Structure 1
Amino acid sequence: MNIVVTGANGFIGKNLLVFLHEAGFDSITTITRENSNDEILSKVATADFIYHLAGINRPKSDDEFKVGNTDLTALIVNHLISLDKKTPIVLSSSIQAEFDNPYGISKAAAEDLLNLYEDKTGANVYIYRLPNVFGKWCRPNYNSAVATFCHNTLNNLPIFIHNAEAELNLVYIDDVCKQFIRLLDSSIVDNGRFDITPTYKVTVGEVATLLGKFKESRNSLITEKVGSEFIRALYSTYLSYLEPSQFAYPVTQHSDERGTFVEMLKTKDSGQFSFFTAHIGVTRGGHYHHSKTEKFLVIKGKALFKFKHIVTDEFYELVVDGEESSIVETAPGWSHDVTNIGNEELVVMLWANEIFDRNNPDTINYKI
């Protein structure tokens, strides 16, 4: 199968090409603004499937909307009709096609051409009226508020918001690409107009606020719930605008005669992650908690963990080596400490189920 992608150098095109290669499609022909009409026709003639992503959305004059959106589509479908071909086509249209403005009119006209092509040839046609698409590699200061906000937030540039309550309908680039590639399944023969799911409805102010929290998290170490849905997609998009020089950032080290303690990440409802070191022979801990619990993972060295019940005096100890990848969990009401009994520095990863609160530490000294 030879797949032709128009607008291959654009935001959606760049991402789609990566997804196509990952899916095992290696016969891909690209069409960009550098190609002449003759080159476009020659490439279209070889297509077994076409993703028509090319278009104009930021012209110097309104006439360019018709040239880049309607006329280019006419060039492609008329050539296929003349060749008596019924090549399936995906059109990236826009929700603006519903409105009476030059851009929307040009997109609606392109849709009409695709529908006419379907009627004449019986080809499968897939029209997507896309809302605002966001994700990695979208150009800031062009036609995406999300891209601009991400870039400006990371680079300490101002964000201009006219109406914080204005609603945005957003779809994530990964969801667009995955649904586009799904159409290459020969068992899918539906025609017509389609929507990308999920669509996220958020306000401009909500986006700006979240981006500010992402930025502040490097100082506070407190992360938002970035593991699912819109916040996951926005966080990934935000990070994609990092310059390599911004990949790393410092965190505070707390060092004394015992070793070093470093906090790495804090969550709002699931505790925090940190690590500590202990010099040879050093014991750390010697306290209990009423409610707090911790998980310890020895990364390097050999550790002796000791436990004592603060009421019954029951005692327990165990030895953990860094090569074992064994997690040691503490229980409320048991005092505990850890001693480096190896011949090298001890390095231990630590998770606590709550963020440390200096005003309510729930950490009571109790030597074992």
Structure 2
Amino acid sequence: MTRVAITGGFGFLGWHLACRLRAKHGIEPLRVGRDDYADPARLARSLADVDVVLHVAGVNRAHTDAEVEQGNVSLARTLVGALPADRPVDLVYANSVQAELDNAYGRGKAGAADLLADAVHARGGRFQDLLLPNIFGEHGRPHHNSFVATFVHEVACGGTPSVTNDREIPLLHAQEAAALLIAAMGDDGRTVVSGEPHSISEVAELLERTHRLYATRGEVPPLTSSFELNLFNTYRAATFPQLWPMGSQVHADQRGRLFETVRSHGGTGMAYASTTLPGQKRGEHYHLHKMERFVVVAGDAEIEVRRLLHDEVVTFRLSGDRPEFVDMPTLWVHNIRNVGDTELVTVFWSDQLLGPNDPDQYPELVAGEDLP
């Protein structure tokens, strides 16, 4: 199996990249972080046996322009010094489309590309320079990764994004960027990636509409394009777990109780139910894109959710006595267990039909152990 290392492996794009390698390719990459970079000898030992390096680490914020420019060059220089000198190693560089512009960030990214290309080729390896547009996605840092991350944070906290200098910006979801980086392994050359153009005001309006529908009534907004779904999942990540569980409005009379589980404004989807015997558990998987809602209608349940490649487990207790639901965030492993003495009845809804060829469902235990 190909041995892959990711620099910046604990950052925003590095995490998405590691998640996709695990889900789609069964590869557990070596994730290189700040501690490794702080000790060049340690970094060299870490990279001694790898076949491919996905260089995602970068500097896009600093006190001065000079620090931004030299920061990216310095990262590349440290990486070059740590690469094995006696054998070829392929390298894919997560460059930026700004490398073609004359600004501090662009000059730094371009300079880093030149250093990396020369070093990799001198060792007989292949170097792919992938120029990426603005990237957004789940768990981006506000005021750091992108304006989308900042807007998502503000809206999730009940605020209103401020739009200045409105213009179209090419956007690419982090999982799409990860797919391109993985596909580029073994290539040699330079590729400029075009994002999907969306205006700043459009993103703000979509997020505000999403918040009005979703945070107040639990309604799923229109998901008529992959961009809308990816933006929705990015927003949902910012509201998890503090928004949950959310209650359903119950209408009761002599016949019993009536309550909605899902109201959707667009897209395809499916709702379904299950019964689970006391002590039994369902789930133990995660999704890259699929939205999934768990609604407990009878019995007592415990839902466990763990962010992929992290250790902390978030636990919810739900009861059919007070109809509640939890939406599973993308890239979080989840399960549901019957913790009561009676049969557990759960209704599920997903935004997409279960397709046997690409179910977007990857097995893993919340507890972090290997599946049998």
Give 1:258 deviation, angstroms: 2.8
Residue 217 and residue 158 in structure 1: after superposition, are their counterparts in 2 closer, same or farther (change >3 A)?
closer
Give 1:92 deviation, angstroms: 0.9
1:108 alignment partner, SS class: helix
State the match for 1:283 in structure 2: none
- Is the Cα–Cα contact under 8 Å of residues 13 and 53 in structure 1 kept in the other structure? yes
Using the aligned pairs only, state the percent identity.
Answer: 29
Q: Aligned AA for 2:162?
A: F
Give 1:108 deviation, angstroms: 0.6
State the match for 2:31 in structure 1: 30
- Is the Cα–Cα contact under 8 Å of residues 54 and 68 in structure 1 kept in the other structure? no
Superposed CA RMSD: 3.1
Q: 1:217 aligns with which of 213, 216, 239?
A: 213
Q: Aligned AA for 1:192?
A: G
State the match for 1:102 in structure 2: 104
| 2-structure distance, mates of 1:154, 1:200 | 24
Q: Alpha-carbon deviations, 1:67-87, whole Å to 9, x = none?
A: 431122123235547x14320
| 2-structure distance, mates of 1:5, 1:59 | 22
Q: How does 1:81-230 map to 2 (within 5 A)?
A: 83-163=85-165, 165-184=166-185, 189-196=186-193, 199-218=195-214, 219=216, 222-226=219-223, 228-230=225-227
| 2-structure distance, mates of 1:118, 1:6 | 15
| 2-structure distance, mates of 1:136, 1:61 | 28
Q: Does 1:46 align with 2:49?
A: yes
Give 1:34 deviation, angstroms: 1.7
2:205 alignment partner, SS class: helix
Q: How many residues are aligned here?
A: 273
Q: Does 1:63 align with 2:59?
A: no
Give 1:2 deviation, angstroms: 2.6
| 1-structure distance, mates of 2:90, 2:32 | 16
Q: Aligned AA for 1:158?
A: T
Q: 1:246 aligns with which of 240, 243, 259?
A: 243
Q: Aligned AA for 2:16?
A: N
Q: Alpha-carbon deviations, 1:97-130, whole Å to 9, x = none?
A: 1111111101011111233235434421111111
Q: Does 1:258 align with 2:255?
A: yes
Q: Alpha-carbon deviations, 1:233-284, whole Å to 9, x = none?
A: 1011110111323122233222222333323433446899999xxxxxxxxx
- Is the Cα–Cα contact under 8 Å of residues 89 and 124 in structure 2 kept in the other structure? no
TM-score (norm: length of structure 2): 0.65
1:190 alignment partner, SS class: coil
The structure with the larger Rg is 1
- Is the Cα–Cα contact under 8 Å of residues 93 and 130 in structure 2 kept in the other structure? yes
- Is the Cα–Cα contact under 8 Å of residues 134 and 146 in structure 1 kept in the other structure? yes
Give 1:132 deviation, angstroms: 1.1
TM-score (norm: length of structure 1): 0.66
- Is the Cα–Cα contact under 8 Å of residues 99 and 106 in structure 2 kept in the other structure? yes
- Is the Cα–Cα contact under 8 Å of residues 219 and 262 in structure 2 kept in the other structure? yes
- Is the Cα–Cα contact under 8 Å of residues 221 and 264 in structure 1 kept in the other structure? no
| 2-structure distance, mates of 1:66, 1:222 | 45
Residue 109 and residue 86 in structure 1: after superposition, are their counterparts in 2 closer, same or farther (change >3 A)?
same
Give 1:39 deviation, angstroms: 1.7
State the match for 1:335 in structure 2: none
Return 5+ residue gaps in structure 2 as ranges. Answer: 273-296, 299-344, 348-372
Give 1:196 deviation, angstroms: 4.6
| 1-structure distance, mates of 2:4, 2:243 | 37
2:247 alignment partner, SS class: coil
| 2-structure distance, mates of 1:250, 1:222 | 12
| 2-structure distance, mates of 1:183, 1:268 | 37
1:209 alignment partner, SS class: helix
Residue 47 and residue 172 in structure 1: after superposition, are their counterparts in 2 closer, same or farther (change >3 A)?
same
Q: How does 1:277-292 map to 2 (within 5 A)?
A: none
| 2-structure distance, mates of 1:201, 1:117 | 35
- Is the Cα–Cα contact under 8 Å of residues 4 and 47 in structure 1 kept in the other structure? yes
More contact order relative to length (CA 8 Å, sep ≥ 6)? 2
State the match for 1:74 in structure 2: 77
Q: Aligned AA for 1:154?
A: A
| 2-structure distance, mates of 1:235, 1:145 | 15
Give 1:12 deviation, angstroms: 0.8
| 1-structure distance, mates of 2:109, 2:223 | 35
Residue 224 and residue 47 in structure 1: after superposition, are their counterparts in 2 closer, same or farther (change >3 A)?
same
| 2-structure distance, mates of 1:220, 1:43 | 49
State the match for 1:284 in structure 2: none
Give 1:91 deviation, angstroms: 0.7
Q: Aligned AA for 1:216?
A: R
1:245 alignment partner, SS class: coil
Residue 270 and residue 257 in structure 1: after superposition, are their counterparts in 2 closer, same or farther (change >3 A)?
farther
| 2-structure distance, mates of 1:45, 1:8 | 17
Return 5+ residue gaps in structure 1 as ranges. Answer: 276-298, 301-346, 350-368
